[in-house]
Amino acid sequence: MIDITTTFTAVRGELIVKREQDTTGYLEQNKRELAEAPSWRPYSGRSSLRKVASVPMIVVEQMMKEGINPLSNDPEMQRKFYQKLNSNEYRHLRTYPGKIGPRK
């Protein structure tokens, strides 16, 4: 479900587009999933997949405005996205503990 509200306003001949999304429910769900995630790393094998974050669409749009495309297969773009998700500023998007990204 995409629950984004888009508002168009004309000011002095310019069109202003404002997009908003209430992310409270998404972030609360992320906190619950993170709290329930096992701490003993049952998915430590290389081929195992797990959900590590849930990013609301409005945040994806903001990242894209900043030049980070979370949907890109480009390794540099993925590195930048992982860096965002590993930062304290974006910690509420996380649903699994630990560091996101390839191991070096």
* DSSP secondary structure of 14-51: EEEEEEEE--HHHHHHHHHHHHHS-SS-TT-STT----
Note the pLDDT of residue 49. Answer: 75
* pLDDT above 90: residue 12: yes
* pLDDT tens-place string over residues 19-60: 999 999 999 999 999 999 877 666 565 556 788 999 999 999
* pLDDT attached to residue 28: 96
CB 51 within 8 A of CB 95: yes
